[in-house]
Structure 1
Amino acid sequence: LRKVTSPLQLADSQVSREADSARWAVVDGKNIVCLTTNDYKATEKQIPGAAVCLENAAVYNIFRIAASKVEACNK
């Protein structure tokens, strides 16, 4: 699992990760996209949250195209 970092490419526009209020991540090589309720900050580890992961190649490809840069979640 990796988190998406800036910039996101959406059609002809670039959006910063900070401006994207959605919390999502892609799982490389698995066609999985995860949506979460918490941000990826160490301070959020103590806050209850949830994640929903969807395995769907079409949805994964849309998110993967938007996510030109990813990094490990532990960063």
Structure 2
Amino acid sequence: MPASYYDMCRRGVGKAVEIRTHDGRIHRGIIHRVDNRMVYLRPLPQRNYGGYGYPWGWGWGWGGFGFGVALGAIAGLAFLPFFFW
């Protein structure tokens, strides 16, 4: 694991990222926090394009839930521009 991924993630708390892991998975989200083993992401906000449905979307908000990605599994990290989401 390059130390630079840890440093990049620490500086990017609160920013939208796309993380590619060694097994080929792609994770997109907002960096919530970073520790010495994992980077924790919140899901990106969902766009509402109008139409019918429940106004709150799926679930009851993110409520602190997110997911973690092991720093050692990161193969690539890219910060996403605001217009992406």
TM-score band, normalised by the shorter chain?
0.3 to 0.5
State the TM-score, normalized to the length of structure 2. Answer: 0.35
